[in-house]
Structure 1
Amino acid sequence: MELFAVICIQTSHYVSFSKWGGGKDAQWVFFDSMADREGGEKGFNIPQVSVCEELQSCFSDELVETEIKNKTNKELKERLRRFICDGYFCFYNIPDDEMFG
């Protein structure tokens, strides 16, 4: 199975990480429905989607060694910390070749 999306919650603020594209060209993107605010308190939220550079080599030995190992949660980069610590729902895909192979 292949992880393709994670919904994270911190207090009452949800964000998500999703894979965009396929194969080795796939990129992780970050979605935040409350990234910016227009019109003050009674205004509206402006959602934002951006490439999440912190997860491009997700779960690689290099990422673990350089970004995660021996660090506290507070020392992690913000998006990486959200992904690791605030994960609430994880979505997996079964590639076609694994399902019928």
Structure 2
Amino acid sequence: MKFLLLSLVLLLANAMAVAPAQSKIDNNRYTPVKANSKKITSKQQAAKIAKKRFGGKVLGVQNLNGEAFRVKLLTAKGHVIYVTVDAYTGKASR
């Protein structure tokens, strides 16, 4: 009986000593993206990035719920293309 009680006390003491260290590690593992960490905040910035990356003339820009921008471009060959610019990273893709 004494052995069982001693084991339980040691187990609880060990758990209490380890728990704060584990929560500290867990807190540092994931850092959420803050709402104000956007690189692109305006249609003008998105248009400039898309034009620099793909060339052509900007026909229009749509804000996609603050997460990205859709830029409509007219290329030198006369093709209309749509480019998405990520608001957080600033990356432009078709």
Task: State TM-score, norm by structure 1.
Answer: 0.28
User: Which of the two has higher C-alpha Rg?
Assistant: 2
Larger % of helix: which? 2
Name the structure, 1 or 2, with higher relative contact order (CA <8 Å, separation 6+): 1
Larger % of strand: which? 1
Task: State TM-score, norm by structure 2.
Answer: 0.29
